């Protein structure tokens, strides 16, 4: 299940929704809004999402992950709209019989979500300025080592 | 000439000053649409990590566009 | 923070306890009791823990992980006692500025916890039998690929 | 002869039929304690993934044991 939400992500409910008696492990990744980026103090974030294609592409990412690293269940929810420091911007959860697949599928999903979905991030800085995060740097880093945030 | 509806997202929308416009353009590919609208709005964003969709389907820049198509121009994404 | 608990692991509270305004990502792994192992139907599990050394070694594992993959905060809680199918047996959470360190530290911690701590698992099977999980197999698999459950 | 308190865990406790006993043993290393108690309780568990601690400190099998020490015998672990 992949979804876009303009409200706080219900992390407890999402976790419960993955319950499966054959599951040996759950791997979760949450992206949180942090208070700085590239040395600039950030006050809040705004996510613009083109929902029809984000949902289509997000759903495709979950299917690819299941092909590559067979798991039992997975969910991913990405926020849209205005977020404050500490808010959860994206939640990915994967349950599998063994931890190997859970970790690998979770990592694959978040990496692809960050690189492929039509989602844009505008940072509002403490100095009053604001800017779209081009993520050229992220894209480069991702290509090399899978890093980002 | 083809009637093309162009939709701009994020920084592209801000550069263009609008989210959508329908233009009569002499274009054959998605790349042509990108270049003509870029010069129209005086934008210099490199095509680098930009992406394009035609009628809600992600396509290559070399894909053909037809009269009546809606072309979505996506600046570099930054999910997560 | 590493702890052993004979009560249900408070996953929501543990997650909240990792809040940090410099955090860009949280990676969590939960080990759940699953309904079968090596083809035998499992009814419930019993964990025996030698607490003084488990806590000492668990704390050491968290310190090692921080050296290798610098993170902001991490917690790990392992259950002792009797567990039912679906119960959370172990919870690991790591927050870091970027997801790379969060994933790698989380994986390191759970792999080491499973291999090094004086904790033993007794499986109670549907057929009435019960057995200590020797984990010779796990140890071998771990040495090769890091799998287990 | 040394007075050694031996503690058994998990399957070792079940094989021995007790969790702890104090024995007078002719031993110099942790390995000697493992072998003598194993034959005492008729156990054949290979030493493979077993571990040992002396006075709550994980040690190598070749570590010396002294009169009054407590030796903890750990069968293969299976956390998580």
What CATH number is associated with residue C85? 3.90.1170.40
Residue B46: pLDDT band by 50, 70, 90 thresholds? confident
How much is the ipTM here?
Answer: 0.90
**What is the domain partition of chain D in residue ranges?**
2-74
**Does residue A146 sit at the C interface (CB-CB below 8 Å)?**
yes
Q: CA of D65, closest CA in chain C: separation in Å?
A: 18
Q: Burial code of B23-61, b = ≥16 C-beta within 10 A, e = fewer? A: bebebebbbbbbebbbeeeebebeeebbbbbbeeebbee
Residue B44: pLDDT band by 50, 70, 90 thresholds? confident
C-alpha dist (Å) from residue C76 to C72, C110, D10: 14, 9, 23
**Which of C138, C52, C120, C134 lies closest to D53, judged by CA?**
C52
Structural domain that includes position C55: 2-145
Average pLDDT value for residue range A58-78: 98
Task: Report how far residue C73's alpha carbon sits from residue C145's, in angstroms, rounded to the nearest whole number.
Answer: 27
Please give the pLDDT value at position C148.
42
Average pLDDT value for residue range C57-63: 98
Q: Mark yes or no for CB contact D10/C48 under 8 Å.
A: yes
Task: Report how far residue B63's alpha carbon sits from residue B54's, in angstroms, rounded to the nearest whole number.
Answer: 9
CB-closest option in A50, A90, A134 to B76: A134
A93-127 pLDDT, tens digit per residue, is 999 999 999 999 999 999 999 999 999 999 999 99
Average pLDDT value for residue range A17-27: 96
Q: Burial code of C134-146, b = ≥16 C-beta within 10 A, e = fewer? A: bbeebbeebeeeb
Please give the pLDDT value at position A135.
53
C104-148 pLDDT, tens digit per residue, is 999 999 999 999 999 999 999 999 999 998 755 444 443 433 334
pTM of the model: 0.91
Residue D43: pLDDT band by 50, 70, 90 thresholds? confident
pLDDT at A35 over 90: yes
Count how many domains chain A has.
1
Please give the pLDDT value at position C145.
38
Is CATH 3.10.20.30 the classification given to domain B2-74? yes
**Window C:45-84, CB contacts with A under 8 Å:** none
pLDDT > 90 fraction of chain C, expressed in percent and rounded? 87
SS (H, E, C) D11-55: HHHHHHCCCEEEEEECCCEHHHHHHHHHHHCCCCCCCCCCEEEEC
């Amino acid at each position: 299940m992949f979804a876009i939400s303009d409200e706080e992500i219900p992390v407890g409910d999402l976790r419960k929704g993955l319950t499966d008696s054959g599951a040996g492990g759950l791997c979760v990744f949450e992206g949180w809004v942090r208070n700085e980026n590239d040395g600039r103090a950030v006050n809040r974030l705004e996510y613009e999402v083109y929902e029809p294609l984000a949902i289509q592409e997000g759903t495709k990412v979950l299917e690819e992950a299941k092909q590559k690293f067979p798991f039992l269940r997975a969910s991913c929810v990405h926020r849209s709209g205005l977020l404050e420091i500490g808010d959860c911007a994206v939640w990915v959860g994967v349950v599998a019989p063994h931890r190997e697949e859970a970790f690998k599928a979770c990592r694959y999903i978040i990496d692809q979500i960050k690189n492929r979905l039509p989602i844009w991030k505008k940072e509002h800085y403490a100095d009053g300025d604001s800017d779209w995060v081009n993520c050229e740097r992220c894209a480069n880093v991702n290509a090399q080592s899978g890093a980002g945030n | 000439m083809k009637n093309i509806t162009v939709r701009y997202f994020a920084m592209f929308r801000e550069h263009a000053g609008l989210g959508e416009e329908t233009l009569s353009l002499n274009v054959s590919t998605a790349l042509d649409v990108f270049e003509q609208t870029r010069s129209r709005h005086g934008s210099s964003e490199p095509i680098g990590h930009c992406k394009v969709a035609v009628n809600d389907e992600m396509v290559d820049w070399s894909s053909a566009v037809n009269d009546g198509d809606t072309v979505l121009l996506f600046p570099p994404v930054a999910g997560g």
